[in-house]
Amino acid sequence: MAKTPRLLASAAALFLAVAAQAEPDLEAGAKLFSKCTSCHQIGSNTKKRVGPNLNELNGRIAGSIEDFPYSKSMTRAGQEGLIWTNETLDAFLADPKVYIPKTKMSYRGMKDPEDRLNLIAYLNTFSANMASHSAGDPHDLDPAILALVGDKEYGEYLSGDCKTCHQADGSAEGIPPITGWPVDDFVYVMHAYKNKDRNHPVMQMMAGRLSNEEIAALAAYFADLEE
């Protein structure tokens, strides 16, 4: 595996530099991913294709999906400690066969750093560990919003729309789980979408329909669901 410290450091520096200059464009990332779908699936009800599914990719050990026929080089990369993060994904996507020689992935690489930023941002919307704790301090919100005590029964009534995508049992089948989240985290993330500080058109629309009291109710309901 050609994951030298110098290569990874350069990739990390470039990724952070591009990220600092541009807000990721999720729609552009989705369009870029459409070119990957002949080999990879993402989201609900994924099936094995030429490549593995990319749900929960960020934070995954390379070559770790059970029963998937990875190349020996990809399996060895995971055994040697390669974990997919923004920076390692950026380096791999730039030139897969340089980053992991003899990988089965035939893609020649995505040369535009901004394209890679957008694609990785889109993939991250399907990784639970990127769905919370990633956009700042929840106490940046008006304390009066955080102080609202949600009505759990009302939250259960409102939760139907959430459960069309998110699994009530906390499983992550393509959509990040929200069961068992701390109330403050849930409230912060929903308000980040409501205020369009987080760039996901569907979630912006859904959160924009909710009042502060309704967000508090949903937070209270999902916080106490048992996984």
Q: How far apart are the first and last CA of the chain?
A: 38
The reported pLDDT for the residue numbered 197 is 67
Tokens of 119: 């694609």
* Interatomic CA distance for residues 2 and 204, integer angstroms: 40
What per-residue confidence (pLDDT) applies to 213?
96
pLDDT at 169: 67
Contacts of 60 (CB under 8 A, 6+ apart): 83, 84
131-223 CATH, one of 3.40.640.10, 3.40.50.1820, 1.10.8.60, 1.10.760.10 = 1.10.760.10
Nearest to 183 by CA among 150, 227, 142, 135: 150
pLDDT of res. 33: 93
> What is the spatial distance between Cα 211 and Cα 3, in angstroms, rounded to a whole number?
48
User: 50 exposed, middle or buried (CB, 10 Å; 0-12, 13-18, 19+)?
Assistant: exposed
- CB of 187 closer than 8 Å to CB of 145: yes
Please name every residue paired with 83 in a beta bridge, in sequence order, or none if there are none.
Answer: 61
Class for domain 5-127, per CATH?
mainly alpha
3-state SS string over 3-22?
A: CCHHHHHHHHHHHHHHHHHC
The two three-digit tokens of residue 132, written as one number: 């919370």
Q: Would you call 149 exposed, middle or buried from its count of C-beta atoms within 10 A (0-12, 13-18, 19+)?
A: exposed
pLDDT in tens, the chain (227 residues): 444 444 544 444 444 444 445 678 889 999 999 989 989 999 888 887 889 999 889 888 999 998 899 999 999 988 888 889 888 898 899 999 988 989 999 888 999 999 999 999 999 888 876 643 333 344 457 889 989 999 999 999 999 988 887 766 656 554 566 788 788 878 887 887 788 766 567 788 889 999 999 999 999 999 888 64
pTM listed for this prediction? 0.53
The ranges of the chain annotated as CATH 1.10.760.10 are 5-127, 131-223
Report the alpha-carbon distance of residue 47 to residue 90 in Å, rounded. Answer: 25
Q: Cα–Cα distance between 91 and 7 in angstroms, integer?
A: 8
Asked if 115 contacts 26 with a C-beta cutoff of 8 angstroms, the reply is no
Burial class (CB in 10 A: 0-12, 13-18, 19+), 46: middle
- Residue 1: per-residue pLDDT: 45
Contact 28, 199 (CB under 8 A): no
